[in-house]
């Protein structure tokens, strides 16, 4: 099995925390778009990296047009969720 297929979701998954408290969904859209693009690239004749890059760009563009409601949440050491200002 190709190691790139296994490595891509791990790297992209770590980017999810970066977009947790932004004002729009660009980070989450890029993450989802890259995953879908990599999956499409894996089953077609397109390079996986190319598919992920195109998917991430499309997802980031789409996500940047969707505004969040201004509420962000964090979890403390006891597992309780609390709201913070974005």
Please check the confidence at residue 26 and state whether its pLDDT lies above 70: yes
Strands 81-85 and 71-75: antiparallel
Whether pTM > 0.75 for this model: the answer is: no
- 48-61 residue pLDDT tens: 889 999 999 999 88
Containing structural domain, residue 48:
3-85
Is residue 52 within 8 A of residue 28, CB to CB? The reply is no
Q: How many domains are there within the chain? A: 1
């Amino acid at each position: 099995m190709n190691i790139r297929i296994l490595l891509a979701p791990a790297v992209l998954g770590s980017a999810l925390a970066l977009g947790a408290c932004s004002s729009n969904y660009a980070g989450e859209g890029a993450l989802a778009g890259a995953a879908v693009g990599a999956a499409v690239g894996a089953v077609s004749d397109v390079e996986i990296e190319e598919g992920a890059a195109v998917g991430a760009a499309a997802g980031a563009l789409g996500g940047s047009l969707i505004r969040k409601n201004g509420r962000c949440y964090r979890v403390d050491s006891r597992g309780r969720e609390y709201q913070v200002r974005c």
